Amino acid sequence: MFKLANQLTKALVVAGLSATFVTTAFAQSKFSGIGREATKAEVAAWDIDVRPDFKGLPKGSGSTLRGQEVWESRCASCHGTFGESNEVFTPIVGGTTKEDVKTGRVASLTSEKQPQRTTLMKVATVSTLWDYIYRAMPWNAPRTLSVDDTYAVLGYILSMAEIVPDEFTLSDKNIADVQKLMPNRNGMTQSHGLWNEGGKPDVKATACMTDCSKHVTIGSFLPDYARNAHDNLALQNRPYGPYRGVDTTKPPMARLPGKMTTVAMGADSITPAGLFKKHNCSTCHAPASRAIGPAISEVAAKYKGQADAMKKLHQKVKVGGAGVWGSIPMPPHAHVPEGDIDVLVKWMLTGQ
Amino acid sequence: MTVEKKSRVFGRLRRAPENFVSEQFASDVYEHGMDETRRGFLRKSFVTALGAATAGGAVSSALAADGEKVILEKQQWQTTLGQPVAARPYGAPSQWEAALQRRESPGLTRVSAASVAFAPLQGFFGIITPNGLHFERHHQGWYDIDPAQHRLMVNGLVKQEKVFTMDDLMRLPSVSRIHFIECGANTGLEWGNVAVPSVQYTHGMLSCCEFTGVPLSTLLDMCGADLKKGKYILAEGGDGSGMTRTIPLDAALKDTLVCWAMNGEMLRPENGYPLRLVVPGVQGVSWVKWLRRIEVGDMPYASKDEAVHYIDLLPSGLHRQYTTIQECKSVITTPSGGQQLLDKGFYNISGMAWSGRGKIKHVDISVDGGNNWRRARLETPVLSKAITRFNMDWTWDGSPAILMSRATDETGYVQPMVKQLREVRGTRSIYHNNSIQAWKLDANGELSNVQVG
């Protein structure tokens, strides 16, 4: 407590609070009536983190067979059948070898040619994956997997990467042994100056003021294709004042523009594409490619020419549906205003 | 459309004050009509104006012989009654400011609920980020959580594990501090080469607000934290992502705050309403939003966002873990990439500097690609772990230039060139790129993003 009182004094002096306040031996008595003791059940409900030493890991187990069932019904739509998909998120499985499992260092990480880093190429601690899955997966329905299914699906992922055998049961009993097989288990370092405020920086530059670099060379320019890749910058700057945005839909001007002329400009109302994003439709649907749900173009094609398509799809959006486009159900969207649903459905069907 | 091309001056609009775009842009619209991009932004009144100009034929000049019409003629906002008070009970920016918005970088992420919206630094003044333009980064979408249902739990190596309501927390003695928040991946797109066109996308995962809350040390003290065994805290978010980050106990006790307010109002939902952690000088991911739990522990937690994501790949193939401090950095925000100077003459070069290790000591500016430098003016206030605004007078003679800024913080650390960082960290580390930014100014007045050296 003594040490704490010192720390607290420092913190509170910095905070500009009265010094007399910290002379109270126990600050908690100062704040009577504020906060209450947490119950054991409450702590158990929320304290779900699992550390590298497996503190916090619940007892349980799951087979790769069960893991495959969970994977295919809950995970594969985003991550691909083999954990290799790069469609929605970066891949989980790939880039590790049997040799890496022996050495604990993923050799492909030293190659500049490796296009992507998969999760299993990076992660050193199997506890992280257990915690990640149990805490935050599936992505659109986090914390809906049981403890045993978390073991099962983690075991299945590890089996896809050939870290554990095809038929394997991962449990709290053997997870420490599996840790010894993690392909990048020796691939992390905490030895750097960016962990603490007083850490030593990597580089020491000098503040030269004159004749510092007589031959200035430009090592990299903005590529031509990137000029308008973030839409028209003329519309992302104030249309008055000293600095206008460049009209990036056009090649650079030949000369200074000089005097400016006047036109009116302002915000438009929200577009169907804006509604599509606002109501999170884009989480599961893309215009022309299949994501978690069908592509807009697929839906449009399926319902083309049907007289009651508007009504049917309006209902699908509102109350949800299942079975038309595979195993992942469309959740209900009762919170989306009726008018917005009409605009969205019309837009899906007609592009207008 | 039969309007004579040379006639570039549009008539005064009756329904709205006039606004400006470049002459070339205006004449392009005039000549070619509206394309898809313009269609979304140009108002109907603009079309009306074109229609009127076409139909009426005669377009009056904006600058008559005896002066400007906007002065000589009475304007609508001078001759009619304005809006009453509380017409908009929660105020909003002028309709003329719609160009400045948070924006995603197309193609950076595939799903918008696990993405980032960049702040439009090119339009900011001073050091404070308006709440509506604070950058956004979510890992599994955002929620607007009912504050009456929100709880903060403190557990682990403490004498008494406690639960606090918002009522509890907001009764405690609060402090207000101005601090920057920067995502560790800010400028991360540019480790290898130039990739994006404007400061919004190179540096827009940066904001600075006045945060109000209770020092974390107060809460740890109330729970009787074991400061002998305890070495770290874990902060955990209350959303589906359940963001978890390890913070060393000394940082947690020093200046970390548990905050409910930003810039005088409650936090915005996108920024963690009703409660977030503020860890000054440390990358944004540790400023856990929708904060629900603090655990005191004796080892780092290697959570998903410190063992799978937010790790920095070195040329050796090793990853650095727990890289959290945001080192000294600066950027010129005006003029900057994707902006256009209209003419030669006087300009105020302006920008932002910040350091996760304390105050900014000085900022130097070069207009010749780093050969010669001049000291910029630092505007007050100059605060620790906050954005400092700098300015420098400059007269442009119309010749090509390369504009750069270089900040030094109170520890004496000087912001490096990117090649210095690459020598240690390579080009694949994504995070913690605090190198000097260069903007190339061409004789036509257009600025673009380049890397020098």
The reply to whether B76 touches chain A by the CB within 8 Å rule is: no
The amino acid at residue A13 is V
- Burial class, B226, CB count within 10 angstroms (exposed 0-12 / middle 13-18 / buried 19+): middle
Which residues of chain B have a CB within 8 Å of the CB of A229?
Answer: 106-107, 196-197
Give the 3-state secondary structure of residue B62: coil
The reply to whether A44 touches chain B by the CB within 8 Å rule is: no
Q: Please judge whether B364 and A209 are an interchain contact, meaning their C-beta atoms are less than 8 angstroms apart.
A: yes
Report pLDDT digits (tens) over B307-334: 999 999 999 999 999 999 999 999 999 9
B164/B179 Cα distance (integer angstroms) = 25
Return the domain boundaries, chain A: 2-37, 61-179, 272-350
A269: nearest CA in chain B?
Answer: B40
The amino acid at residue A153 is V
Our CA-based measurement puts residue A307 at a distance from the nearest CA of chain B, in whole angstroms, of 30
The reply to whether A237 touches chain B by the CB within 8 Å rule is: yes
Better-scored residue on pLDDT, B146 or A308: B146
Q: What is the DSSP letter of A243?
A: E
Which residues share a beta bridge with B162? A37, B154
Which pLDDT band, with edges at 50, 70 and 90, does B150 fall under?
very high
Which of A42, A209, A231 is nearest residue B37 as measured by Cβ atoms?
A231
Report pLDDT digits (tens) over A274-306: 788 777 777 777 777 777 778 888 888 888 888
Q: What is the DSSP letter of B63?
A: E
Report pLDDT digits (tens) over A72-128: 999 999 999 999 998 889 999 999 999 999 999 999 999 877 778 999 999 999 999
CB contact at 8 A, B303 and B246:
yes
Show Cβ contacts of residue B208 under 8 Å, excluding neighbours closer than 6 positions.
Answer: B127, B128, B129, B178, B179, B180, B181, B352, B354, B386, B387
CATH of B116-320, one of 3.40.50.300, 3.30.565.10, 3.90.420.10, 3.40.50.1980: 3.90.420.10
Query: What average pLDDT does this structure show over A55-80?
Result: 96
Which of A17, A106, A265 is nearest residue B41 as measured by Cβ atoms?
A265
Phi first, then psi, for residue A80 (nearest 5°) are 85, 155
- Which of B151, B308, B310, B343 to mutate to probe the A interface, most A CBs <10 Å? B308
Our CA-based measurement puts residue A351 at a distance from the nearest CA of chain B, in whole angstroms, of 14
Please state the ipTM of this predicted complex. Answer: 0.86
**Residues 291-350, chain A: which have Cβ within 8 Å of B?**
none
The reply to whether B34 touches chain A by the CB within 8 Å rule is: no
Which residues share a beta bridge with B126? none
The structural architecture, per CATH, of the domain A272-350 is Orthogonal Bundle (1.10)
Show Cβ contacts of residue B81 under 8 Å, excluding neighbours closer than 6 positions.
Answer: none
Please spell the DSSP secondary structure of B87-147, one letter per residue: SSSS----GGGTT---B--TTT-S-TTS-EEB--GGG--SSPPPGGGS-EE-SS------G
Q: What letters, b where the CB count within 10 A reaches 16 and e where it falls short, cover B55-88?
A: eeeebeebeeeeeebeeeeeeeeeeeeeeeeeee
Q: Please judge whether B334 and A214 are an interchain contact, meaning their C-beta atoms are less than 8 angstroms apart.
A: no
The structural architecture, per CATH, of the domain A61-179 is Orthogonal Bundle (1.10)
Computed over its alpha carbons, how large is the radius of gyration of chain B?
Answer: 25
Question: Are A61-179 and A272-350 the same fold in CATH?
Answer: yes
Which residues of chain A have a CB within 8 Å of the CB of B421?
Answer: 202-203
The amino acid at residue B438 is A
Please spell the DSSP secondary structure of B178-229, one letter per residue: EEEEE-TTTTGGGSSS---SSHHHHH-SEEEEEEEEEEHHHHHHHTTB-TTT
Q: Please judge whether A188 and B218 are an interchain contact, meaning their C-beta atoms are less than 8 angstroms apart.
A: no
The rounded mean pLDDT for chain B is 89
| Selection from A59, A128, A122, A162 nearest residue B244 by Cα | A128
| Selection from A35, A169, A4 nearest residue B169 by Cα | A35
Chains A, B: CB contacts under 8 A, how many?
A: 491
The amino acid at residue B306 is E
CA atoms lying within 13 Å on the CB side of residue B33 = 6
Report pLDDT digits (tens) over B3-44: 333 333 333 333 333 344 455 555 554 455 445 444 444 444
Which pLDDT band, with edges at 50, 70 and 90, does B47 fall under?
very low
Fold that domain B329-450 belongs to in CATH: Immunoglobulin-like (2.60.40)
CB contact at 8 A, A137 and A75:
yes
- Which of A203, A281, A292 to mutate to probe the B interface, most B CBs <10 Å? A203
Query: What average pLDDT does this structure show over A215-244?
Result: 95
Query: What average pLDDT does this structure show over B242-250?
Result: 97
Tokens of residue A170, six digits: 């991962």
**Residues 170-229, chain A: which have Cβ within 8 Å of B?**
184, 187-190, 192-197, 199, 201-214, 216-223, 226-227, 229
CB contact at 8 A, A318 and A311:
no
Query: What average pLDDT does this structure show over A224-233?
Result: 95
The amino acid at residue B396 is W
Return the domain boundaries, chain B: 23-79, 116-320, 329-450
Report pLDDT digits (tens) over A169-209: 999 999 999 999 999 999 999 999 999 999 999 999 999 99
Instruction: Say if strands B232-237 and B136-137 run parallel, antiparallel, or are unpaired.
Output: unpaired
Which of A125, A221, A227 is nearest residue B307 as measured by Cβ atoms?
A125
The reply to whether A53 touches chain B by the CB within 8 Å rule is: yes
Tokens of residue A278, six digits: 């606002």
Query: What average pLDDT does this structure show over B287-296?
Result: 98
Which residues of chain B have a CB within 8 Å of the CB of A269?
Answer: none
Q: What's residue A290's pLDDT?
A: 74
Is residue B132 predicted with pLDDT exceeding 80? yes
Which of A37, A139, A203 is nearest residue B424 as measured by Cβ atoms?
A203
Report pLDDT digits (tens) over B177-232: 999 999 999 999 999 999 999 999 999 999 999 999 999 999 999 999 999 999 99
Which of A43, A202, A208 is nearest residue B425 as measured by Cβ atoms?
A202
- Which of A99, A111, A230 to mutate to probe the B interface, most B CBs <10 Å? A230
Residue matched to tokens 């049961």: A169
